[in-house]
Amino acid sequence: MKKIYTFQLKDLLMPSSMTLVFANLFPFYGVLYLGWKVFPVLLLFWIENVIIGFFNILRILACSPKNILMWCTKIFLIPFFTFHYGMFTAVHGIFVIAMFGGYEIKGDPYTIFQNSLPVVFEYNLQYAVLALFLSHAFSFIFNYIIKGEYLIENPGRLMAKPYGRIVILHLTIIFGGFLMMALHSPVSGLLLLLILKIIFDLRAHIK
């Protein structure tokens, strides 16, 4: 029987959980005070997927350091994950930036990573991006390294973990569109969307 993960006060008060919530508050500020619409929020969701992929590579590299067989596996899995996850993320980025932002994307799919940088500064998202990066960096250092998670993880399991976020991004785009139409208010829809994202993020983090 699968274990059901529920929020407990001690879980929510973990430094890494509080850092995660704090980082997710930046989009609230953007929506309420900077007038962000759908595109900047979805762009942040996508950029966070890129950040998660980056730290997942570090997790794979650091896991089970004393297991020689694991190192042989990592030599194959790290390049494969980088290409495969990178391609999935690039295609999603093109969809978000072209469909919701109205930007023209030229070149191969991987150019989306460099083409997204000017858009980040255009919408003043750099501080929100930095907050998300620091949140995941803190989780990597505090939970994964200091608390010893890297000793019990394996590359195969780590490789599959980030793909759940891609599914969530798809559902967010679809569900968010219907939500904002139903509420007749982009701001209300975005705020509810951000609350759902924090709940999903906390659940995944605590699990």
Does the predicted TM-score (pTM) go above 0.75? Answer: yes
- Please give the DSSP secondary-structure letter assigned to residue 97: I
Alpha helices in 101-140 (DSSP H): 112-122, 126-139
- The average confidence (pLDDT) of the chain is 79
Q: How many residues does the chain have?
A: 207
109 pLDDT tier (thresholds 50, 70, 90): low
Task: Return the structure tokens found at 100.
Answer: 């919701």
Per-residue pLDDT at 2? 47
Task: Return the structure tokens found at 51.
Answer: 């950040």
Per-residue pLDDT at 141? 92
Residue 54 burial by Cβ neighbours in a 10 Å radius (0-12, 13-18, 19+): middle
Contact call for residues 144 and 52 (beta carbons, < 8 A): no
204 pLDDT tier (thresholds 50, 70, 90): low
Per-residue pLDDT at 8? 62
pLDDT one-digit tens code per residue, 23-74: 777 777 777 777 777 788 888 888 988 999 999 999 999 998 888 888 888 9
